[in-house]
């Protein structure tokens, strides 16, 4: 039947192609979905993830109750299983959670229940079972992030983000502490205070801690991950243009990734402590807003000259990174929708990746690649240092010259001391404007898979 379909040019097995055959003779199934995966030599873990997504999207469209998938040949069966399950759960879904017509909302992933997936393999190993469990847990984290990022700014304020964090982490056994406005001010988080000063929605400073069970593992230095939590970025007094400003409800996608990853990490229990830090603010213009030209004092004591109030992410991250050092981290990774310049450099295919330690940056890059979240290193040579030199303060919040993604990272670098640190600029990665064959449009949940996998690596 497949050969016939190929002869008739209905199917060529290219990646993304699907063909549904009814009552295939000799098989005890009603419907057989054949999915093209492209050339065998190009088969990757990502192909498995896409296969899961394509098949389940097709499945949902036709309200089929369950499906069985023959596991494609792959160099690592457990990586294939994990990716397939991830794709199956992540693939379907729309972003129209606020449409009142139930029928119109049929594709909404947040209200539906998932159909059953059966994996067919010649033998079932315990590592495959484990991989399926990991895949399902990671997918849950990704779905959580997509819901948080999809929520509009009027409904997703810093206070709401904190309570969503509590909810997600409580279920996962991760402890959460939240500083309120007064505590933020008293502790001297000057970046958070400056950015939120124009908004009537007060800021929150969220800290999540996962602590492993064994006494020995507890003593290990933690992985610390920091996420930019701007629940809406109007630009502040340096107001953004109207066109596309609505996209800035997604300016907490980095925070989402950290929250999502912590909720997964609590369930999957890696062997080292992990701390997640999210400064959450809304960036708005008003009579009490920070002005261009203002100088602020951050948590570390270092001063920043604010030349553009739209470069707000780095102000709150400066506080959060300085605070992160108190955890005595093994390494830090931050994730932020930080600069439009990063989109100019890399588009919507790769996140920008920078840092102060080539080995740690390479670990992050490789981990991201293994989990279908691409990230590309940008240079951080000392020649770029003068981009952020201020005439009146320790550092300025806009670059003097064009490489905007690098100058933002150069500012952050001033706040991490000698601790190994990597920075992911995900400005182009948080939102997909068009659906693909395997996943719908809208928030991507980028970062959950990388951050989770980093917690399990033992080589740093």
Binding site for ligand BES (CB under 6 A): 233, 251, 308, 310-313, 337-341, 398, 404, 427
The catalytic residue among 147, 249, 314, 396 is 314
Shortest distance, position 252 Cβ to ligand BES, whole Å: 10
What are φ and ψ of residue 427, in 5° steps? -50, -35
Shortest distance, position 389 Cβ to ligand BES, whole Å: 15
Smaller CB distance to ligand BES: residue 107 or 374?
Answer: 374
Give the Cα separation of 103 and 212 in Å (integer). Answer: 44
Q: Is 193 helix (H, G, I), strand (E, B) or coil?
A: helix
Give the Cα separation of 80 and 242 in Å (integer). Answer: 44
Shortest distance, position 40 Cβ to ligand BES, whole Å: 38
Residue 220: left if φ>0, alpha if ψ -120 to 50, beta else—which one?
A: beta
341 binds, among Zn ion, ligand BES, none (CB under 5 to 8 A by kind): ligand BES
Q: Say whether residue 404 binds Zn ion (CB under 5 A).
A: no
* Residues pairing with 117 in the sheet: 67
Q: Alpha helices, DSSP H only, in 62-210?
A: 77-90, 126-150, 158-172, 181-187, 190-196
Instruction: Please answer whether residues 332 and 420 qualify as being in contact, where contact means their C-beta atoms are separated by less than 8 angstroms.
Output: yes
Give the Å distances, CA to CA, from 334 to 139, 203, 343, 352, 424.
Answer: 21, 19, 18, 12, 6
196 binds, among ligand BES, Zn ion, none (CB under 5 to 8 A by kind): none
Q: Say whether residue 15 binds Zn ion (CB under 5 A).
A: no
Smaller CB distance to ligand BES: residue 232 or 299?
Answer: 232
295-297 sheet: strands from edge to edge: 295-297, 303-305, 395-396
Counting other chains too, the contacts that 378-381 makes at CB distance below 8 Å and 24 or more residues apart are 378/345, 378/352, 378/353, 378/354, 378/403, 378/405, 378/406, 378/409, 379/406, 380/354, 380/355, 380/356, 380/406, 380/409, 380/410, 380/413
Give the Cα separation of 299 and 281 in Å (integer). Answer: 16
Smaller CB distance to ligand BES: residue 83 or 342?
Answer: 342
Smaller CB distance to ligand BES: residue 280 or 338?
Answer: 338
339 binds, among Zn ion, ligand BES, none (CB under 5 to 8 A by kind): ligand BES
140 binds, among ligand BES, Zn ion, none (CB under 5 to 8 A by kind): none
Q: Say whether residue 442 binds Zn ion (CB under 5 A).
A: no
Q: Is 328 a catalytic residue?
A: no
Smaller CB distance to Zn ion: residue 164 or 251?
Answer: 251
Residues numbered 213-232 forming contacts with Zn ion, rule: CB under 5 A: 230
Q: What tokens were used for 375?
A: 């990230």
Q: Is 314 a catalytic residue?
A: yes
Shortest distance, position 311 Cβ to Zn ion, whole Å: 6
Q: What tokens were used for 240?
A: 């953004």
Smaller CB distance to ligand BES: residue 78 or 309?
Answer: 309
Smaller CB distance to ligand BES: residue 41 or 433?
Answer: 433
Smaller CB distance to ligand BES: residue 69 or 406?
Answer: 406
Specify the DSSP element, H or E, that contains 421.
strand 421-425
Shortest distance, position 187 Cβ to Zn ion, whole Å: 23
Q: Produce one character per residue of 163-194: b if its CB has 16 or more CB atoms within 10 Å, e if not.
A: ebbbebbeebebebebbebeebeeebbbbbbb
Among 33, 29, 30, 98, residue whose Cα is nearest residue 60: 33
Shortest distance, position 456 Cβ to ligand BES, whole Å: 29
Instruction: Please answer whether residues 118 and 69 qualify as being in contact, where contact means their C-beta atoms are separated by less than 8 angstroms.
Output: yes
Smaller CB distance to ligand BES: residue 51 or 145?
Answer: 145
Residues numbered 299-358 forming contacts with Zn ion, rule: CB under 5 A: 310, 312-313
Q: Say whether residue 233 binds Zn ion (CB under 5 A).
A: yes
352 binds, among ligand BES, Zn ion, none (CB under 5 to 8 A by kind): none
The catalytic residue among 107, 166, 167, 240 is 240
Shortest distance, position 239 Cβ to ligand BES, whole Å: 11
Specify the DSSP element, H or E, that contains 411.
helix 404-413
Give the Cα separation of 197 and 283 in Å (integer). Answer: 8
Shortest distance, position 161 Cβ to Zn ion, whole Å: 15
Q: Say whether residue 251 binds Zn ion (CB under 5 A).
A: yes
Among 406, 409, 270, 282, residue whose Cα is nearest residue 334: 409
Instruction: Please answer whether residues 117 and 57 qualify as being in contact, where contact means their C-beta atoms are separated by less than 8 angstroms.
Output: no
Shortest distance, position 431 Cβ to ligand BES, whole Å: 8
427 binds, among ligand BES, Zn ion, none (CB under 5 to 8 A by kind): ligand BES
Q: What is the contact surface with Zn ion in residues (CB under 5 A)?
A: 230, 233, 251, 310, 312-313
Active site residue ranges: 240, 314
């Amino acid at each position: 039947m497949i050969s016939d379909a190929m002869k008739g040019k209905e199917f060529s097995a290219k990646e993304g192609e699907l063909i549904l055959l009814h009552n295939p003779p000799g098989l005890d199934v009603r419907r057989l979905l054949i999915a093209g995966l492209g050339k065998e030599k190009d088969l990757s873990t990502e192909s498995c993830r896409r296969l899961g997504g394509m098949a389940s999207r097709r499945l949902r469209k036709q309200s089929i109750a369950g499906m069985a998938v023959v596991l494609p040949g792959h160099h690592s069966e457990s990586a294939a299983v994990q990716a397939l399950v991830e794709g199956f759960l992540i693939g379907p879904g729309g972003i129209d959670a606020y449409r009142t017509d139930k029928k119109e909302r049929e594709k909404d992933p947040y209200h539906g229940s998932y159909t059953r997936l059966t994996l067919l393999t010649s033998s079932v190993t315990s590592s495959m079972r484990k991989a399926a469990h990991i895949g399902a847990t990671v997918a849950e984290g990704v779905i959580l992030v997509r819901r948080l990022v999809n929520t509009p700014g009027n409904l997703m304020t810093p206070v709401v983000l904190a309570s969503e964090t509590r909810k997600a982490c409580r279920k996962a056994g991760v402890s959460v502490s939240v500083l309120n406005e007064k505590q933020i001010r008293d502790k001297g988080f000057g970046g958070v205070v400056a950015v939120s000063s124009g908004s009537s929605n007060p800021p929150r400073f969220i800290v999540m801690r996962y602590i492993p069970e064994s006494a020995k593992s507890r003593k290990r230095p933690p992985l610390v991950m920091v996420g930019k939590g701007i629940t809406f970025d109007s630009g502040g007094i340096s107001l953004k243009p109207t066109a596309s400003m609505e996209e800035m409800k997604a300016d907490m996608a980095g925070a989402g990734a950290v929250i999502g990853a912590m909720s997964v990490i609590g369930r999957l229990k890696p062997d080292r402590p992990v701390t997640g830090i999210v400064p959450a603010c809304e960036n708005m213009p008003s009579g009490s807003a920070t002005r261009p030209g203002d100088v602020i004092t951050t948590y570390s004591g270092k001063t920043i000259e604010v030349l553009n109030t739209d470069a707000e992410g780095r102000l709150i991250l400066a506080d959060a990174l300085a605070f992160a050092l108190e955890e005595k981290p093994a390494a830090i990774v931050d994730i932020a929708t930080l600069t439009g310049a990063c989109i100019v450099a890399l588009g919507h295919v790769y996140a920008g990746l920078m840092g102060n330690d080539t080995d740690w940056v390479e670990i992050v890059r490789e981990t991201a690649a293994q989990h279908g979240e691409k990230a590309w290193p940008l240079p951080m040579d000392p020649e770029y240092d003068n981009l952020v030199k201020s005439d009146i303060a320790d550092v300025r919040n806009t670059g003097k010259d064009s490489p905007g993604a690098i100058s933002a990272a150069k500012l952050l670098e001033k706040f991490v001391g000698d601790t190994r640190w990597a920075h992911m600029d995900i400005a182009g990665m948080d939102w997909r404007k068009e659906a693909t064959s395997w996943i719908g449009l809208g928030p991507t949940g980028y970062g959950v898979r990388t951050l989770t996998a980093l917690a399990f690596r033992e080589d740093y």
